[in-house]
Amino acid sequence: MHLLDRTLEGSDSLVLDSVLLLETSQIVLHAPQLHVGELDVEVLVPGAAEHEAQSVLKKAASVFSGMSLQAMGMVDVQNPFAHLVRPKVDREPFRAPPREWINQLMRQGLEEFQGEPRLAFVLALGAGLRWGEITSLTWEDVQRDNVRIAGSKAKGRRGRMVPIGTLAQRVLESARGQGAVIAGDGKQVHLALCAWLRKQGVTDAKPVHYLRKCFGSSAVADHGIFIASKLLGHASIGITASTYAGQVDQLPAVGF
């Protein structure tokens, strides 16, 4: 068990997205199983659950900001979640594998995957989509030579059009249907991808997201940091630059 020693200041009972219950003496987070007493936070499920808990706490800290509390008439109440959220740390640059390894991974994945895992695989590695974007994608969003990510479905509501190569086009067109691209159990598709990627030697904490990073690495190499940032839908070019810092440092000579 992981124990975080934190002081919690509570106030009136409030409900947030049917997940969070705040009372003077106790907070109960139903997903994941996180119990918060007056003086501590105890994570009952390690690893992914702790990461998920931090995500919920960050959202709660944002909702219960000073301005929000004042608007609710709680002038003298401090944000009860501010000290529970871990501070941000500098983003570590992505250690990109060799381009040939990425190309071989694509070929092998397309040979071994079938059905929806195959579609999710090509959308992650061939178009750089986030998992949430993949599961919310419909066949109307898949055009002949690009994939459309609507702002309402994108992180930060930053919609974009992602051009796709011939290989991805062929895979998607051969499977074209109606409704959601991933119409089955998205969790099972995700588990299948993670298990397969582990067998290929991927040790990243988020194996499916690792495919998106490989796409970003290829985009930086082929088109530069600015275009890669647009393709990935990053909030700023600074995020792209810090993620792929190792590649950005490899500057070519200017020809005269």
CB atoms within 10 A of CB 151: 11
Q: How far apart are CA 163 and CA 99, in angstroms?
A: 19
Count structural domains, the chain: 2
Length of the chain: 256
The closest alpha carbon to 1, from 35, 31, 27, belongs to 35
- Looking at the structure, do residues 177 and 233 belong to the same domain, yes or no? yes
Q: Does 136 map to a domain?
A: yes
Please enumerate in sequence order all residues whose Cβ is within 8 A of that of 145, keeping only pairs 6 or more positions apart, or say none.
163, 164, 169
- Looking at the structure, do residues 162 and 46 belong to the same domain, yes or no? no
Q: What is the model's pLDDT at position 138?
A: 96
Q: Does 57 map to a domain?
A: yes
Sheet holding 40-43, edge to edge: 2-5, 40-43, 34-36, 27-29, 20-22, 14-16
Residue 136, domain CATH: 1.10.443.10
pTM above 0.75, yes or no: no
- Looking at the structure, do residues 51 and 117 belong to the same domain, yes or no? no
Q: pLDDT by residue (tens digit) across 116-166?
A: 999 999 999 999 999 999 999 999 999 999 999 998 888 888 899 999 999
- Looking at the structure, do residues 117 and 18 belong to the same domain, yes or no? no
Q: Does 152 map to a domain?
A: yes
Q: What is the model's pLDDT at position 158?
A: 86
- Looking at the structure, do residues 60 and 104 belong to the same domain, yes or no? no
Q: Does 88 map to a domain?
A: no
Q: What is the model's pLDDT at position 221?
A: 92
Final residue before a domain boundary, out of 71, 90, 120: 71
Q: What is the model's pLDDT at position 238?
A: 92
- Looking at the structure, do residues 180 and 235 belong to the same domain, yes or no? yes
- Looking at the structure, do residues 241 and 161 belong to the same domain, yes or no? yes
> Kind of pairing, strands 2-5 and 14-16?
unpaired
Q: Does 80 map to a domain?
A: no
Q: How far apart are CA 89 and CA 250, in angstroms?
A: 24
DSSP the chain: -EEEE------S-EEETTTEEE-SS-EEETTTTEEE-SSEEEESS-THHHHHHHHHHHHHHHHT-HHHHHHTT-TT---TTTTTSPPP-PPPPP-PPPHHHHHHHHHHHHHH--HHHHHHHHHHHHH---HHHHHT-BGGGB-SSEEEE-GGGSGGG--EEEE--HHHHHHHHHT--SSBSS-S-HHHHHHHHHHHHHHTT---SSHHHHHHHHHHHHHHHHH-HHHHHHHHT-SSHHHHHHHTHHHHTSPPPPP-
- Looking at the structure, do residues 112 and 184 belong to the same domain, yes or no? yes
Residue 111: phi and psi, rounded to 5, are -75, -40
Q: How far apart are CA 101 and CA 214, in angstroms?
A: 10
- Looking at the structure, do residues 60 and 120 belong to the same domain, yes or no? no
Q: Does 237 map to a domain?
A: yes
Q: Which domain holds residue 56?
A: 2-71
| pLDDT < 70: residue spans in the chain | 1-52, 86-91, 248-252
- Looking at the structure, do residues 180 and 138 belong to the same domain, yes or no? yes
- Looking at the structure, do residues 57 and 128 belong to the same domain, yes or no? no
Handedness of CA 190, 195, 199, 202 (dihedral sign): positive
- Looking at the structure, do residues 119 and 239 belong to the same domain, yes or no? yes
Q: What is the model's pLDDT at position 52?
A: 65
Q: Does 142 map to a domain?
A: yes
Q: Does 81 map to a domain?
A: no
